[in-house]
Amino acid sequence: MADDCLFCKIVAGDIPCEEVYSDDDVFAFRDINPAAPTHILVIPKKHLASVAAATPADEALMGKILLKANEIGQAEDLHSSGFRYVINTGKDGGQTVDHLHLHILGGRGLFWPPG
Ligand code: AMP
Ligand code: ZN
């Protein structure tokens, strides 16, 4: 848990969220400002500032985040129509919360390239 980290506070239950999934390592919840009909954030429970901060010790955790995102997307019925994963990183990447999060976006056609 990092001090003053919004997503650590959500994991701890100090800030409410619409939870989608939780286990020992991974947590998922609906984005408060959805950019698509389905917009879910999948995060590690432990604080990692960004995907760029991951180390070889996080190899299994990174894989788990992706595979849990797949399970969540299937439960949300996104796999037949398609979906997008996004991990914004750093200033130019548009990262606004410094706790690694994978966006699951789906439920409409998404534009490419992103802005
Ligand atoms: P990013 O710009 O990639 O760092 O994404 C941060 C995301 O967190 C944005 O899509 C926000 O809408 C979302 N967000 C911020 N605060 C909350 C919150 N309290 N509950 C759920 N999602 C949030
Ligand atoms: Zn955190």
Instruction: Tell me, yes or no, whether 61 lies in a domain.
Output: yes
Instruction: Tell me, yes or no, whether 113 lies in a domain.
Output: no
- Ligand minimally distant from the alpha carbon of residue 20: 1
Helix (H) / strand (E) containing 86: strand 83-86
Query: Residue 78 C-alpha to ligand 2 middle, in angstroms?
Result: 28
- Is the pTM above the cut of 0.95? yes
Burial state string for 7-27 with b = 16 or more CB within 10 A and e = fewer than 16: bbbbbeeeeebeebeeeeebb
Q: Are 39 and 30 in contact (CB under 8 A)?
A: yes
For the chain, what is the domain count? 1
| Pocket mutation for ligand 1, best pick of 9, 27, 33, 87 (most atoms within 8 Å of C-beta) | 33
CATH assignment of the domain containing 30: 3.30.428.10
Instruction: Tell me, yes or no, whether 1 lies in a domain.
Output: no
Instruction: Tell me, yes or no, whether 12 lies in a domain.
Output: yes
Mean pLDDT across the chain = 97
Nearest ligand 1 atom to alpha carbon 31: 22
Instruction: Tell me, yes or no, whether 62 lies in a domain.
Output: yes
Instruction: Tell me, yes or no, whether 68 lies in a domain.
Output: yes
Helix (H) / strand (E) containing 8: helix 6-12
- pLDDT digit string, tens, across residues 66-83: 999 999 999 999 999 999
State the Cα–Cα distance between residues 63 and 53, nearest whole angstrom.
15
Radius of gyration of the chain (CA): 14
Confidence of residue 115 (pLDDT cuts 50, 70, 90): confident
Instruction: Tell me, yes or no, whether 15 lies in a domain.
Output: yes
Q: By residue range, what is the domain housing residue 24? A: 6-106
